[in-house]
Amino acid sequence: MIEARRLHILRAVADHRTVTAAAAALYLTPSAVSQQLAALEQETGHRLVDRSARGVRLTAAGDILLTHANAVLAQLERAESELAAYGSGEAGTVTVAAFATGIGLVVAPALTALARSAPGIRVHVQDAEGDASLRMVLDRQVDVAVAVEYRGAPRADDPRLTRVPLYAEPFDAVLPTGHRLAEAPRVAVAALADDPWIGPYPGNPCHDVVVLACENAGFQPRLEHTSDDFRAVVALASAAAGVALVPRSALRDVDLTGVVVRPVDGVAPTRRVFAAVRRGAEDHPLFRPVLAALREAAAPQG
């Protein structure tokens, strides 16, 4: 008989690509993870992982078992949801991981709505970038992620996750007031090819959006200054340190002295935001009201 917790460990190893990283995510020791993998291999009668100096990868048998593991774990989430519903599910705690702008834009308003509509649900919020929050959901560190589309993100049909679209917003060009294009009503990304750039660190989903927009315009941005704090990005632009593309909502309540903000000419790069839970958990009586409140709070954002 295959133990479900060992399937969860197998999935974590497949996601993190090393035993050490999977162990850290699961709050286990690397030796405990290795022991559970060995036990799973004994249970199945197949070698499931190959180890090398670069990490761990699944064998063909491991890939087969992972497909079934995703289905089994999703079904277990559904079972927990139905049992929680049977037990009323009117009170409990839900943990939500979200990036800073998402917290202000949709999570905080959702908390206000939940205080009225579902007072028995307590929500704990953690600040996490969009790419990190999805991993936290899969590793069961949090229940709900408010995340951003990025290159390498799990696909919409990923068997491990259920996604709820929230909103999409364009990036605007932020230029120093003395910039040659400061008086233009709209700015083409290609026109900024020779400028120094300011932007988020690699790994931040917004970094991917900016780089992809520049690649589509035919160049690689010369990223001279990096910060994940858009207030810092705007401050550097105001000091004429470079140009930037910034999500429109991130410019709200930011001091724009010394910069001009212009819409992007043509198809603007876009930040697409969604909520995600583990597949099968979307109908959990605690998670369902939280997802609904997030969707309602996001509605005015389009």
At residue 27, the 3 state secondary structure works out as coil
CATH of 4-83, one of 3.40.50.1980, 1.10.260.40, 1.10.8.50, 1.10.10.10: 1.10.10.10
What single-letter DSSP state applies at residue 242? -
Residue 291 has pLDDT above 70, yes or no: yes
Identify the pLDDT of residue 109: 96
Residue 302 has pLDDT above 90, yes or no: no
**Fold match between domain 4-83 and domain 168-271:** no
Name the CA dihedral angle for 243, 248, 249, 252, rounded to a multiple of 10 degrees.
70
Measured distance CA(185)–CA(106) in Å, rounded: 30
Confidence band, pLDDT 50/70/90 cuts, at residue 85: low
Identify the pLDDT of residue 301: 73
Residue 114 has pLDDT above 90, yes or no: yes
Identify the pLDDT of residue 87: 67
Q: Where are the domains of the chain?
A: 4-83, 89-165+272-298, 168-271
Measured distance CA(66)–CA(59) in Å, rounded: 10
Name the CA dihedral angle for 129, 131, 137, 143, rounded to a multiple of 10 degrees.
40
User: pLDDT tens, 174-226?
Assistant: 999 999 999 999 999 999 999 999 999 888 888 989 999 999 999 999 999 99
Residue 129 has pLDDT above 90, yes or no: no
Identify the pLDDT of residue 90: 67
**How many other CB atoms are there within 10 angstroms of residue 42's CB atom?**
9
User: pLDDT tens, 19-69?
Assistant: 899 899 888 998 898 898 988 888 888 988 888 878 888 999 989 998 998
Residue 157 has pLDDT above 90, yes or no: no
Distances (CA, A) of 28 to 32, 76, 194: 6, 21, 49
Residue 153 has pLDDT above 90, yes or no: no
Identify the pLDDT of residue 91: 73
CATH of 89-165+272-298, one of 3.40.190.10, 1.10.10.10, 2.30.40.10, 3.40.50.2020: 3.40.190.10
Measured distance CA(67)–CA(43) in Å, rounded: 17
Identify the pLDDT of residue 83: 78
Q: What is the pTM of this model?
A: 0.70
Can you say whether the dihedral through the CA atoms of 263, 108, 153, 211 is positive or negative? positive
Identify the pLDDT of residue 75: 86
CATH topology of domain 168-271: D-Maltodextrin-Binding Protein; domain 2 (3.40.190)
